[in-house]
Amino acid sequence: MTYRVLALTLFPEMFPGPLDYSLAGKALKEKKWEIETINLRDFGLSKHKNVDDTPYGGGPGMVMRPDVIDAALQKAHAHAPSNKIIYFSPRGVPLTQNLAQDFAALSGVTLLCGRFEAVDQRVIDKWDLMEVSLGDYILSGGEVAALTLLDCIVRILPGVMGNRESDEEESFSKDLLEYPHYTRPHLWENRAVPEILLSGDHEKIKTWRREQAEIITQQRRPDLFEKYQSRKDKN
C-alpha cells in the first residue's frame, strides 16, 4: 500500500523539494509513497485571500484563522480520513527516531505547516492536532519541519532502504549515537584506521563499535546515554 502524505501549506511549491532526490525521490517515483499539497490560501477570506488576523489580547505577530484552517482540514480529511494530522509547533513533542517509526507504521500523515505567530488554539483543539517540534529553536514556517519529518519517515518505509541493518545501526535507533566510520586509504595524513577494524574478528569489531558509541553518547548526549543505561539495566 502506498504511504499517503498531505501537506497543508501556503507554499505548495516547496514540496517535495529536496525529497525529490536520493532515496526519497526514488521511492516517490516507485510509488512507495505519494504527496499531495493543499494550498491554505485557497481557503482565504475576502478578495485578498486573508488567512490570518491580529491576536485577541494584543501581542506581536498574526494568528492563522481557525475558519480558514478548518476548511483546509475538512478537505484533507475527505481525501485521507485515516491520516494522522500533525501540526508543527515549538511547543510540540520532540521529533525522535522512535516517533518517526510510529508515523511510518501508519497508512499516512497529514501535515499542517503553520506560518506567522501561531494557529488559533480552537482549531487545534477541535481536530486534536498532534503538535511536533524539531527542537528548541524557531523556524519561519512548518514546511522545513515537514520536509525533515518526511525524510525521516520515507527512508524507513518498507522497501526504501536496501540494507535494513544499516538503518538499525544508525544514531538514535538504540538510544546511542553512531560509532566512528573509516574507509580507504588505511593511512591518511599520518592518521591510521584503528587496527581492530582490520582484524577480521567480527565479534571484537562489534564490541569495539558499541564501546565507541557508548563513549561518544556519554560525552555528547548524557541525556540520551542515561536513557540507554536505563533500558540496558532493565534487560
Q: What is the pLDDT of residues 74-110, one digit of tens each?
A: 999 999 999 999 999 999 999 999 999 999 999 999 9
Domain boundaries, given as residue ranges, for the chain: 3-154, 171-234
User: What's the CA gap between 104 and 157, in Å, rounded?
Assistant: 6
Residue found under cell 577494524: 197
Local confidence band at 229 (pLDDT 50, 70, 90 cut-offs)? very high
Local confidence band at 170 (pLDDT 50, 70, 90 cut-offs)? low
- Mean of the pLDDT values across residues 184-208? 97
Class of domain 171-234: mainly alpha
pLDDT of residue 232: 84
Specify which residues 23 forms β-bridges with.
none
pLDDT of residue 167: 54
H or E segment and range at residue 192: strand 191-192
User: What's the CA gap between 98 and 214, in Å, rounded?
Assistant: 19
User: What's the CA gap between 119 and 89, in Å, rounded?
Assistant: 9
3-154 and 171-234: identical CATH topology: no
pLDDT of residue 165: 47
Edge-to-edge strand list for the sheet holding 63-64: 52-53, 63-64, 118-119
- Mean of the pLDDT values across residues 180-188? 96
- Mean of the pLDDT values across residues 197-224? 97
- Mean of the pLDDT values across residues 33-54? 97
Which residue did the predictor score with more confidence, 139 or 169? Answer: 139
What radius of gyration do the chain's Cα atoms show? 22
Q: Which long-range contacts (CB under 8 A, 24 or more apart) does 53-56 make?
A: 55/117
pLDDT of residue 235: 74
Find the distance separating the first CA and the last CA of the chain, reported in whole Å. 35
Q: Which fold has domain 3-154?
A: Alpha/beta knot (3.40.1280)
- Mean of the pLDDT values across residues 161-173? 60
H or E segment and range at residue 216: helix 202-220
If we measure between CA atoms, which residue out of 81, 75, 73 comes closest to residue 4?
A: 81
Which amino acid is present at 223? D
Is the model's pLDDT at 131 over the cut of 90? yes
Residue found under cell 488554539: 121
User: What's the CA gap between 217 and 176, in Å, rounded?
Assistant: 6
- Mean of the pLDDT values across residues 151-159? 96
pLDDT of residue 174: 79
